[in-house]
Structure 1
């Protein structure tokens, strides 16, 4: 700004002068190729690593505009009364507001309106200025002068400062994933009352499974067996409940059946000492004899098992000084002899357990649906049962799951209590805990992905529902379920993004994700925090992915089949980097299919005990317990189509960088380096940028959601 006076100082070229000196701007560079746009409910910042020169056809070239208002220097000081000049007032021109303002160089006061004259009085005879009559005011009384704030000055309003949340994640990396537009889900929005009811039924079902195993087969339910049953059922489930399986065929889960059978007659473990090996052999023989005598077994099975048990007891009595290997070999021989007959004897009983658990789950899912329907009726929200149809097929940037059903306006209050590094959320006496840093992460994810609650009125209820859902999914026992949520180290994710352009996790959750775009098992509770839904329902056409699935054989096999279908159907760059356990005795079908895949470009093995994973409960435990040494090798396989291989191919240099990122201690070194130089690059620029798809007829899709935003964005989240 310049003071308006006869003698003006120009310390720099003003905005007006700059505008008057520039020539015509060049036309914006517009591509004729495709434009990939975002569905309407999403407002996104500019994508990192994507071609920023893509423009909309509707955009017109930038042209210089004729300035409005009065240029600087048009107002002179003699426009002000001499009294105001004596009091220190000067008149200036606001370039932003295109109007004059008044500034007092003595007091620093700034006003939009003309200052009022102070009455003249004798400071000796009338020090308070009350003897003279007030000055006459011409015209109606106007409003008081409005003070001008310094922040209102400037050519344009300053850009808001972007908050970047530090932690073992990078939520600023933009997506390079392109999908076909998907219809919104017909699942209802989560509600604390409904979620508490659903999780109580799931807990009862888990307890029932334990009781059935104990009462019918005299064993404990196999560890994590119920969790793997949930995952295996969800591969084929077409029911309406996101947690409880309710519409599966076949009804008997082979995963649950095999795990129960494997623990009959007793659960075998690898003993530490020779004495433990002898005790385990004796217990197995005794349990096999008891089971075959108490069940309705065939005469042949009864004869073979009893003979094998008696032979084992005689061997134990006459053998002195047997080694550890002798006991283990004898146990393997006895199991080979007896197990087929024991399996045939208890087959109907074990199948009955599997059927009962499934039928109870279907009944519980029906109760939850009825309760949710009643809640929607109370709030006057109509249900949508038929799938929502998308009128046209369009390519868009991937976006979080959207809802077709409205959310109830009022959600119950959640009590909030912060204790040191943890935060407690309580609803009706049911308390969920989470590390404060992870709660801040959820807040940032919610800010990016929740489009119907910009005021954060539903944030705490939705966080509580999500924590409650995962707590029911994990189970209540110590460390139960944590294996399903183990994550790769942060250094590995950084390397994957830097070397292979990875921006998306195929199997993650809001609690353990590194990127803000990912797929997770629960589309309803996780959608507010960036989830794109279950990966088997996700069909991308372009992008670079990381896949570290839960260790469920049926899910891993379905994952490989899904990868191959996607790679075969898309000519655009598509890459999947898969991390699975190197199990060889026996090798699961998923591992065999990966190694035999037509799209396999390379595979490497990270040796056992030479790398670490992040703990599955990283949102609960302390930082010192985060890294867990891996007891098995990890097989890394690159599945890529031709265009994906050309862009993100596993060169020797890139593979070596990935193996180096796996080295134990690399994450701690990274943390120390970050403490010394906290200015870390959060841009997450991948090595190769995705190309826009070869389809130049892409429009903004109309997603049928209850809340339609006022502005249609044009960049990915």
Structure 2
């Protein structure tokens, strides 16, 4: 298939069904009750152009197939006119000297010689009028920033049905996020009141990710249909902090104090709960022995206190766990039931807004009934978009503020331009950008709520920064150059490097190019980079999904997976990755010898973007046979990749680009980017 014949790349070319005459490309189409509408139009299939008389083609006519009416129709790309019947050839006249054709002789015009038919894929939809310009005079927009949105995808997937989520709506999102913030606060209060501890750090975020791995509910953020209902992840994290949260002390005095606090808290739990007499006796005896040791021992070292604490925990923890088990399970179940209740409220509010616009959500997800291979395209919706409220846009020198109902969210102007670029190439129901700002606000609100904070320059050291951390630009450049990577399995519109990626929230990210959840992506071929957020259940499910895809496809398929090297205890996902039958190569980058980009890069200053990694990172190449032949991790390629991880490498790259003799010409192009 000639991908360059029509001047379009596979990424840009939509794919309605092919012509009836091209029987080799025809497949039976599934009949859906709801036709997918936006954000980018119908699914893409690389068919051939329907055969039309040369005169009609010259006048802008094209022929397509209507799934709804099950018959062909004709559309003129120049006038926008649509007809069911074959259009009539209009007389030729000069549109400049005689725009109305008044002075034209109506005598029939001799047909132009028709060239031999050439079977090449043609574009069926233009993104903007400037696409009609050809040759060197065509303006190419260059978007400055830590990304390369011109890289074309090499990913082919199986066609999928549209999603049944409601389009992004600021009012619905504000309501949903308020309920999620309330749920997060409830989790903190339950841990404090029932177990006298603070909610484990980032535990709620990991619970959201763990639940979405198995959730089949109707809300894109709030878990609403999960089995089992009690999250093992949340249960373990709460148990690890009972009776107190243990940290590695800095000084000997801190180690002594932590040992004393643990003993007191363990004794208090056993005395205040309905524990078994034998368990109470064992814990009391060990605690008393610990206090006697503390009173008698003088000049104990740091290691002495740590060893004593480990011994006390080994003796007491099983009895403590059994005593508080029912209470901790109650916390997990309470949080899940509240989430289901809140998701139901959001659904009811969404239905009320849709009803005002004469719409309704499909009751059940659509099942895929086709195995057509298509170029990977963004997520679609089963219904249209209702009217959106106005979101206030307040520009500033370096940042823009988007405000709705008194809730203001900030974003750097460079990243807002990036979103505009992604929106222009992936959203087709809003060519005039009337819905752009409300949809950007909704997406920013979603991620701010998921983080649990409002990302801002003052939050540069927030603990949740790692959730959205991304690889340095130099690493992405090398991955694309050496291994053909053009797709990110875990990203967002804010931190993506390529314009094709999977993300956590398909409903609000799809306008900006998201392909939805990676766990639902049925990839057939392509080269991927996978840097999942730290959630054990999500990482393990991702590795399992990669292995299924590699096992099912004979076409070139490659995954370069990056995971934190936490060996105590060793994550199941990492063991699963290292023992995979598709593993071709594995390397480890030591801690503090590489960097990541901050998760809040869309609001931070440039000097705060690179963060030194405090843990080692494991890189594993998973490839099938044909993928290994095409993107083999040779010694030279792997060494080049490791070099790009070196701390400061990205700053060196930026400095070299600034001093480049071609910088002046490229800067003028970048400054003219997306001005309209």
TM range (shorter): 0.7 to 0.9
Report the alpha carbon displacement of residue 390 of structure 1 after superposing the two structures with TM: 5.2
Residue pair 1:613, 1:629 contacting (<8 A) in 2 also: yes
Report what 2:631 is aligned to.
Answer: 648
Report what 2:418 is aligned to.
Answer: 441
Report what 1:500 is aligned to.
Answer: 483
Count of residues in correspondence between the two structures:
565
Distance 1:679 1:177 in 2: 32
Q: Which residue, 585, 602, 606 being the options, matches 1:623?
A: 606
Report the alpha carbon displacement of residue 388 of structure 1 after superposing the two structures with TM: 3.4
Distance 1:591 1:636 in 2: 10
| 1:456 is aligned to 2:426 | no
| 1:535 is aligned to 2:518 | yes
Distance 1:100 1:189 in 2: 44
Structure ID, larger Rg: 1
1:177-256 to structure 2, matched below 5 A, reads 177-256=155-234
Report the alpha carbon displacement of residue 100 of structure 1 after superposing the two structures with TM: 9.1
Q: Deviations over 1:92-138 (max 9, x none)?
A: xxxx996998xxxxxxxxxxx99xxxxxxxxxxxxxxxxxxxxxxxx
Distance 2:53 2:485 in 1: 34
Distance 1:163 1:514 in 2: 17
Residue pair 1:606, 1:634 contacting (<8 A) in 2 also: yes
Report the alpha carbon displacement of residue 322 of structure 1 after superposing the two structures with TM: 1.1
Report what 1:593 is aligned to.
Answer: 576
- SS of the residue 2:318 aligns to: helix
Report the alpha carbon displacement of residue 399 of structure 1 after superposing the two structures with TM: 0.4
| 1:511 is aligned to 2:494 | yes
Report what 2:535 is aligned to.
Answer: 552
Report what 2:111 is aligned to.
Answer: none
Q: Which residue, 560, 578, 583 being the options, matches 1:577?
A: 560
Report what 1:10 is aligned to.
Answer: none
Report the alpha carbon displacement of residue 559 of structure 1 after superposing the two structures with TM: 0.6
Structure 1 residues 643 and 38 mapped into 2: Cα distance closer, same or farther (>3 Å)? Answer: farther
Report the alpha carbon displacement of residue 56 of structure 1 after superposing the two structures with TM: 3.4
Distance 2:467 2:438 in 1: 25
Structure 2 gaps, min length 5? 17-37, 59-91, 104-132, 667-676
Report what 1:706 is aligned to.
Answer: none
Distance 2:251 2:416 in 1: 45
Residue pair 2:582, 2:623 contacting (<8 A) in 1 also: yes
Q: Deviations over 1:187-231 (max 9, x none)?
A: 110111100000000000000000000000000000100000000
Distance 2:203 2:321 in 1: 18
Residue pair 2:377, 2:515 contacting (<8 A) in 1 also: yes
Report the alpha carbon displacement of residue 305 of structure 1 after superposing the two structures with TM: 0.8
**If the length of structure 1 is used for normalisation, what is the TM-score?**
0.75
- SS of the residue 1:359 aligns to: helix
| 1:676 is aligned to 2:676 | no
Structure 1 residues 353 and 35 mapped into 2: Cα distance closer, same or farther (>3 Å)? Answer: closer
- SS of the residue 1:305 aligns to: helix
Distance 1:437 1:468 in 2: 18
Report what 2:15 is aligned to.
Answer: 39
- SS of the residue 2:306 aligns to: helix
Q: Deviations over 1:391-426 (max 9, x none)?
A: 543111000001111101x21111111233221100
Report the alpha carbon displacement of residue 382 of structure 1 after superposing the two structures with TM: 3.1
- SS of the residue 1:349 aligns to: helix
Distance 1:672 1:196 in 2: 41
Report the alpha carbon displacement of residue 644 of structure 1 after superposing the two structures with TM: 0.1
Q: Deviations over 1:239-264 (max 9, x none)?
A: 00000001000000000000000000
Distance 2:328 2:14 in 1: 50
Distance 1:537 1:221 in 2: 31
Structure 1 residues 677 and 338 mapped into 2: Cα distance closer, same or farther (>3 Å)? Answer: same
Report the alpha carbon displacement of residue 61 of structure 1 after superposing the two structures with TM: 13
Structure 1 residues 174 and 557 mapped into 2: Cα distance closer, same or farther (>3 Å)? Answer: same
Report what 2:262 is aligned to.
Answer: 284
- SS of the residue 1:348 aligns to: helix
Residue pair 1:473, 1:481 contacting (<8 A) in 2 also: no
Q: Which residue, 32, 48, 52 being the options, matches 1:56?
A: 48
Q: Deviations over 1:235-291 (max 9, x none)?
A: 000000000001000000000000000000100111111111111111111111111
Q: Which residue, 316, 319, 343 being the options, matches 1:338?
A: 316
CA RMSD for the aligned pairs?
3.1
Report what 2:409 is aligned to.
Answer: 432
Report what 1:273 is aligned to.
Answer: 251
Report the alpha carbon displacement of residue 157 of structure 1 after superposing the two structures with TM: 9.0
Residue pair 1:225, 1:259 contacting (<8 A) in 2 also: yes
- SS of the residue 1:308 aligns to: helix
More RCO (CA 8 Å, sep 6+): 1
Distance 2:311 2:95 in 1: 96
Report the alpha carbon displacement of residue 483 of structure 1 after superposing the two structures with TM: 1.6
Structure 1 residues 168 and 458 mapped into 2: Cα distance closer, same or farther (>3 Å)? Answer: same
Q: Deviations over 1:668-707 (max 9, x none)?
A: 0111111122858x99xxxxxxxxxxxxxxxxxxxxxxxx
Structure 1 residues 35 and 519 mapped into 2: Cα distance closer, same or farther (>3 Å)? Answer: closer
Residue pair 1:35, 1:55 contacting (<8 A) in 2 also: no
Residue pair 2:40, 2:427 contacting (<8 A) in 1 also: no
Distance 1:518 1:99 in 2: 44
Distance 1:176 1:678 in 2: 32
- SS of the residue 1:416 aligns to: strand
Report what 1:296 is aligned to.
Answer: 274
Structure 1 gaps, min length 5? 1-27, 48-53, 67-95, 102-112, 115-154, 684-717
| 1:414 is aligned to 2:420 | no
Residue pair 1:35, 1:56 contacting (<8 A) in 2 also: no
1:30-109 to structure 2, matched below 5 A, reads 38-40=14-16, 56=48
- SS of the residue 2:265 aligns to: helix
Residue pair 1:36, 1:395 contacting (<8 A) in 2 also: no
**If the length of structure 2 is used for normalisation, what is the TM-score?**
0.79
Report what 1:261 is aligned to.
Answer: 239
Residue pair 2:39, 2:380 contacting (<8 A) in 1 also: no
Q: Deviations over 1:287-346 (max 9, x none)?
A: 111111111110111111111111111111111111111111111111111111000000
Report what 1:84 is aligned to.
Answer: none
Distance 2:149 2:348 in 1: 38
Distance 1:203 1:678 in 2: 51
Residue pair 1:235, 1:555 contacting (<8 A) in 2 also: yes
Structure 1 residues 43 and 483 mapped into 2: Cα distance closer, same or farther (>3 Å)? Answer: closer
